[in-house]
Amino acid sequence: MDNKTELINKNNFSIIWNIVDEIVFQNKHFKTEKIKRAFLLKLIVTNLPNATFDEKRSEYYSILGYINYFCDENKRSPKTINFLKRAIKFNKNNYLAWIYLGYWRFDNEQWRRALNAFKKIPDETFGTFCDVLRFKITELKLCCQLYLHPSKKTIGSIKIFLHKLAFQDKENRALPIEMKKAIEQAKLNSSIREILLSLVKDCM
């Protein structure tokens, strides 16, 4: 890891993100996620100089929040949300931090707070190359609305969303797993539930 440490010392955030992704998703050396997280946090915190600009500080805390999110098996670590909040404090337009703050809130069934976080992310943020992410965020927003208040408007929006998702390229399609769960758990008329689940099935 000496080479990675040297690269991190250069304070190049694109390189740092690549290193973090490599370790989080590909490296099999770590026996548990807890050990992996501890290693990554030590690597980043020890070797990354304190950034002087707010935007860099925001990026720094985003990385720490990202590490905690993916290396926390139960998705309940308060450290994750603390890092992400700090990232947003230094840059309110750090949309990656808003995304993972929304993910964390969603995983912990904080539907209204998750929805508020996802609403901070403009549709055009990621461009056309991130349609999968855009669809996933839309899905989670609709799930939150369904859990909070399964209105006719929400159900109509879900139908439109699922029809659009069904026409997406299968290789780049984000499976609506969270949507399926929300439909199964929400307080819905049985016939409406059956229709929505049928639309979900077409997207799988």
Q: What is the pLDDT of residues 135-152, one digit of tens each?
A: 899 999 999 999 999 899
Predicted confidence (pLDDT) at residue 105 exceeds the cutoff of 70? yes
Asked if residue 28 belongs to a domain, the reply is yes
Same domain, residue pair 79 and 126:
no
Whether residues 133 and 197 fall in one domain: yes
How far is the C-alpha of 36 from the C-alpha of 72, rounded, in Å? Answer: 10
> What number is the average pLDDT over the span 67-73?
78
Domain that holds residue 66: 1-96
Residue 108 located in a structural domain: no
Per-residue confidence (pLDDT) for residue 6, from 0 to 100: 53
In a domain, 111, yes or no: no
84 with 10, same domain: the answer is yes
The answer on 74 and 23 residing in a single domain is yes
| Section 50-62 average pLDDT | 71
Q: 47 with 138, same domain? A: no
pTM of the model: 0.80
Indicate whether 5 and 90 sit together in one domain.
Answer: yes
Whether residue 80 sits in one domain with residue 32: yes
Per the model's pLDDT, the better-predicted residue between 149 and 22 turns out to be 149
Is 102 domain-assigned?
no
**81 & 128 share domain:** no
Q: Residue 138 in contact with residue 171, Cβ under 8 Å? A: no
The band of 1, judged by pLDDT with boundaries at 50, 70 and 90, is very low
Asked if residue 126 and residue 89 are part of one domain, the reply reads no
What's residue 58's pLDDT?
85
| Total domains present in the chain | 2
Looking at the fold, whether 9 and 89 belong to one and the same domain comes out as: yes
Within a domain: residue 115?
no
Has residue 107 been placed in a domain? no
Do 90 and 173 sit in the same domain of this protein?
Answer: no
pLDDT for 188 beyond 50: yes
Q: Which residues, other chains included, contact 129 with Cβ-Cβ below 8 Å and sequence gap of 6+?
A: none
Q: Which of 80, 96, 112 is the last residue of a domain?
A: 96
Asked if 170 and 85 sit in the same domain, the reply is: no
Half-sphere exposure of 187 (CA within 13 A, CB side): 5
150-186 confidence digits (pLDDT tens): 899 999 999 999 999 988 887 777 889 999 999 999 9
> How far apart (Å, rounded) are the C-alpha atoms in residues 61 and 88?
9
| Beta carbons of 64 and 30 less than 8 angstroms apart | no
